[in-house]
Chains A and B, each alone.
Chain A
């Protein structure tokens, strides 16, 4: 099995994943569920609490933090939890930002580029095929390169943009983790759906893997691999 209690080295390891709730976070409970289903112990984290409570990895969930009334993620980036989180991420802790969480990571400069208003100006929600391009990050080892997976996308401001140099670098360094396949839902440049940092521990993803962890409520279970990957990474 993946996760839960591991006895590989003769000791019991329980991986703790923290999920941050900002005012206006919406998919926080869903990220918690996904981490639990993957076998992790879940620790809710609060935006106004700088303490990460000894978690091994952190998910910044989807939603509309602070209503997205300014720029998405621009206010959440200044939450009290963020300096601690940024230090931890720079120290190698696995961090996954989903949708609004991706936007927060970009605003925090843990990831390059920005997410802007969808090209067609509408919110869009659909089951979205993705092509995995990097399976060496902390969050993607469960997949194979060029594997096509389907997980839901739902955003109003998910159009990834960066300058040409950054885009070239991202692609050349293999830091594009997933591309939109069979159609680009929001106009993201070069069909980019998710990227990682140089170290491969921080990942930003516009689609929602936490909504593809149960066949009953999602398009399938293709999203679970993001969470099982990090568990495997942490007990290695």
Chain B
């Protein structure tokens, strides 16, 4: 029997199994207080979804509020709170971008989990009125040679590719990182960026009494029920992979049609408000649109097209079936909306309307099954000030002595560049379409993806994501700042001016005070650094409960930085471009190998402190890289980070097969100079004719600049240290992933 409002009123004091849906005692008491009776089954499901960690940000809200205090600058058109932030990029265009997690589903069902991760973030971007134009995916896995990594990595990569390729979105960057802390809890983050004329920005508010609520896209099925409240808001137990029904199944073809249909509706100005259906499905879309519009709404749930006729209203409300959008349109526009949907073969169904008052009523064959104030679901969820404790083992970690430094040798170099985190990711990225849409100017393995927005003027964007879980484990405050600094530096290395940030904060359980302390420190560090670098946070996502068997992952804030290029033809690539050019190292190299790739890959050592953060230096370095690009002084620029100078030299040389002769200064040992991960550095190549002008520009700005050699030949020669042919370097660099996951296509 369907549990109606009438029935709930008649049995107002009956108990319900709220704990099984993840609600706490006091949360349930609050629901009863709001409604003045027990909730119906459907209402209970809705509260459990909307008040879940995933939807309500109940543990993180008090910390995220710091991001709201960062000065917005004069570019931000829409800030946090909508589906994604919107930034003015000039020429009448606006850009919206956001990174999100789809971690737990991707562990349970790697292909579909990763695929629908792409699908979900793309709809967030579409919802803002933008045409999605690129995706990126920062990925993290357990040890590269662990059997479960063999299970999840190929599926996740194929899922990211399968969905994004079929949607026709170029995948221009991201990360592939291995660490045992992600064993049993891989991180699948997905970023999408879209572009629109400024006047096409769409918001989610349902306004205008009498306006029609239209459900667009796929039919609703039983897939994904309990996705956010169960999968995303609790820690996996040993039975993780048995949760398959809670993972959604993706249909990129339907999403492609949905994109084209929605954009045509936006252009024709037919849409008053729009919201995507992602995690939390109709529950979230109905409550958020009516709450944002401060409107009442009535929805006739039995009109929702179903895949399975036997679904009950609670299931329809909780379903996370993909490829659906909810549009609010005027009655006059409705025929045209339905016609556009039909043209693209997209299902469109009027399922309700905006009403007076402030109640969301949901009817099932004429009987109310939900009657709630929507704001109580969307905005008045619980807020927790979770207890926080500095991890008990942190002092011991920070004081752990590093292994003895070895001599820098060819053997060490080859071992480093073939280690899983530093090796070539060709095996992965060849499975992604990186050029569809014809505007990809730079893509993997470049420092940042660069995409052209205007063929007429060359206006374009650069985007990079970074995050180092080891640094953040050793010092969450500094680790988050280093993630931002690296992405900021990567964007500037292409010649783009960094202007805004999105973040995906991947942490363990918020109920663990040590994790909560890490989270608080990381958000504080990130907020301060964003304010200093004048890159406001436009939006993002928090992913908690990333732990396996009680052990949390290394805290992993993934930071995406958006940069702007007036003319993408001026972009600076990372690879050496020509023989006989001068190589300059910008910034200072210190003895900083705590948390480094060397300590980890060669000794499985995690200890000490991460490299020092110097945001003022990052700013000057970025200014120099941008000016150098603008004035045509730079042939190449590559940021220094994981693996240090050695890694940058190898990657820059292999890009076009141009070698280098290097003479290291005598200030430090060759080992420290090659493998230290000091921040605020970049390797650039400049034509000899530009050397003086460029070094003078650095001197004027007090940016240390060291001439370390020239591009030359087809080998990497580091005087008195090592010489190695590029062919040998390439073989070592590219062999690792094929050896683990199968040969490269066609080899």
Contacts and interface: CB of A to CB of B under 8 A. Distances in A.
Nearest to A118: B745
B432 A125 contact: yes
Contacts of B322: none
Q: Give the most central of B161, B438, B568, B742: most A CB within 10 Å.
A: B438
A142 interface: no
A185 B745 CA distance: 6
Contact of A216 (B165, B167, B568, B745): B568
A132 to B, nearest CB: 20
B434 A125 contact: yes
A81 to B, nearest CB: 15
B435 A211 contact: yes
A27 to B, nearest CB: 6
A152 B435 contact: yes
Contact of A217 (B158, B253, B430, B440): B440
B280 to A, nearest CB: 26
B430 A67 contact: no
Nearest to B165: A123
Interface string B153-184: 00000100110011110000000000000000
Contacts of B432: 123, 125
Contact of B158 (A63, A68, A122): A122
B27 interface: no
Given A24-B256, A67-B251, A123 B438 contact: no
Nearest to B455: A33
B265 to A, nearest CB: 17
Contacts of B452: 216-217
A23 B256 CA distance: 8
A120 B251 CA distance: 23
A118 to B, nearest CB: 7
A185 B430 CA distance: 11
Interface in A201-219: 208, 210-211, 214, 216-218
Contact of A30 (B252, B254, B436): B436
A26 B168 contact: yes
Contact of A186 (B431, B436, B437, B746): B746
A21 to B, nearest CB: 9
Q: Give the most central of A63, A152, A208, A217: most B CB within 10 Å.
A: A217
Contacts of B434: 125
B260 to A, nearest CB: 8
A24 B440 contact: no
Contact of B257 (A23, A33, A120, A217): A23
A28 to B, nearest CB: 9
Nearest to A184: B746
Nearest to A180: B746
Interface residue SS majority, chain A: loop
B517 interface: no
B358 interface: no
A67 B743 contact: no
B437 A30 contact: yes
Interface in A175-201: 183-187
Interface string A1-42: 000000000000000000000011011011001000000000
A123 B162 contact: yes
Contact of B166 (A64, A185, A208, A218): A64
A124 B743 contact: no
A143 interface: no
Contacts of A208: 435
Interface residues of B, number: 37
Contacts of A217: 435, 438-441, 452
A24 B253 contact: yes
Contacts of B253: 23-24, 64, 66-69
A187 B568 contact: no
B746 A187 contact: yes
A32 B463 CA distance: 27
B747 interface: yes
Interface string B239-270: 00000000000011110110000000000000
B345 A23 contact: yes
A34 to B, nearest CB: 8
Given A26-B436, A27-B436, A67-B251, A216 B158 contact: no
A131 interface: no
Q: Give the most central of A118, A187, A216: most B CB within 10 Å.
A: A216
Contacts of B600: none
Contacts of B441: 216-217
Interface in B335-358: 344-345
A156 interface: yes
Contacts of A156: 165
Interface string A59-83: 0001110111100000000000000
B437 A125 contact: no
Contacts of B437: 29-30
B433 interface: yes
Nearest to B742: A120
B431 A123 contact: yes
B695 to A, nearest CB: 29
B569 interface: yes
Nearest to B167: A26
B745 A27 contact: no
A53 interface: no
Contacts of B430: 122, 124-126
Interface string B722-747: 00000000000000000000110111
B438 A210 contact: yes
Nearest to A128: B746
Nearest to A46: B343
A218 B168 contact: no
Contacts of A122: 158, 430-431, 745
A236 to B, nearest CB: 29
B542 to A, nearest CB: 32
Contact of A154 (B256, B433, B439, B568): B433
B746 A120 contact: yes
A132 B479 CA distance: 52
Interface in B387-439: 429-439
A218 B436 contact: no
Interface in A85-123: 118, 120, 122-123
Contacts of A124: 430-431, 745-746
B323 to A, nearest CB: 11
Contacts of B162: 123
Interface in B567-600: 568-569
A117 B257 CA distance: 24
B435 A120 contact: no
Contacts of A216: 441, 452, 568-569
Nearest to B429: A125
Nearest to A211: B435
Nearest to B436: A26
Contacts of B435: 125, 152, 154, 208, 211, 217-218
A159 to B, nearest CB: 10
A123 B161 contact: yes
Contact of A29 (B433, B438, B568, B569): B438
Contact of B438 (A24, A30, A63): A30
Given A29-B437, A64-B252, A211-B438, 19 more contacts: A24-B253, A26-B436, A27-B168, A30-B437, A62-B436, A64-B253, A67-B256, A68-B166, A120-B742, A123-B162, A124-B745, A125-B429, A183-B747, A210-B438, A211-B435, A214-B438, A216-B441, A216-B452, A217-B439
Interface of A: 23-24, 26-27, 29-30, 33, 62-64, 66-69, 118, 120, 122-126, 152, 154, 156, 183-187, 208, 210-211, 214, 216-218
17 contacts: A29-B438, A30-B436, A63-B168, A68-B253, A123-B158, A123-B162, A123-B165, A123-B432, A123-B433, A124-B431, A125-B429, A125-B431, A126-B430, A154-B433, A211-B435, A211-B438, A216-B568
